[in-house]
Amino acid sequence: MAFTTMWFTMIAALLAGAGGLPSAAPGGGTGGRSWPVSGQGPRGRPVVLRAFEPPATAWGAGHRGVDLRAGPGAAVRAAAPGEVVFAGQVGGTGVLVLRIDPALRISYEPVRATVPVGARVAAGQRVGVLDGGLAHCPGGCLHWGLLRSEAAGDVYLDPLSLLPAWIRRPGPSRLLPVYGVAVPG
């Protein structure tokens, strides 16, 4: 049994070194992706208070990101590796923007940045602290956005699409006993 365990450990180490398995990142991220705030769910999954609702037009109504439950002072982490391209106030709210690809940017608010503009960060690395709250989240939340630059302008995308399905899943299903149901026969 010990030989089998040792063999699987060696194979896993070789695959991880070759990029064959996702590697753990600080803050619970794996495979180059991480939840931006920690939650109580499986794999640190935070509660999604409000989902992405793309606007029908560039200036139309919608929700251009995802609100994740988190209280003031919570650590905010990079959802993907990239470079900090903005850290400051927009309309009195702290905003941090991370470029993860020449055409993709992640935004976080309300955040007080703990890394400077120009810093390269890894997935799961702490980039800021949740600073206060947003009026529409009484208990506190992080607004997490994703933008793709195009010739016609920025297009908002669902930031949850950055995370692999196994990280987004709420956890395993549990079968519970059913009481009060008649059993045939």
Give tens-digit pLDDT for 81-121. 999 999 999 999 999 999 999 999 999 999 999 999 999 99
| pLDDT tens, N- to C-terminus, the chain (185 residues) | 343 333 333 333 323 333 322 333 333 444 589 999 988 877 778 988 888 998 888 788 888 999 999 989 999 999 999 999 999 999 999 999 999 999 999 999 999 999 999 999 999 999 999 987 677 777 789 999 999 999 878 899 999 999 887 767 666 666 666 676 666 76
d(CA 76, CA 94): 12
For residue 120, the tally of other CB atoms under 10 A from its CB is: 12
Angle at 17 between CA 15 and CA 21, to 5 degrees: 45
User: What are 67's strand-pairing partners?
Assistant: 50, 143
79 and 168 in contact (C-beta within 8 Å)?
no
What are φ and ψ of residue 129, in 5° steps? -130, 135
- Listed residue (56, 37, 163) closest to 100, CA to CA: 163
Q: Which structure tokens are listed for 96?
A: 């941090």
Classify burial at 69, counting beta carbons within 10 Å of its beta carbon; exposed 0-12, middle 13-18, buried 19 or more. Answer: middle
The CA-to-CA distance between both ends of the chain, in Å, stands at 46
Percent of the chain predicted with pLDDT > 70: 73
What domains does the chain contain, in order, with CATH numbers?
Answer: 27-168 (2.70.70.10)
Closest CA relative to residue 164, chosen from 72, 42, 34, 50:
34
> What pLDDT, on a 0 to 100 scale, did the predictor assign at position 103?
94
Q: Report yes or no: 111 and 131 within 8 Å, Cβ to Cβ.
A: yes
CA distance 87 to 73: 17
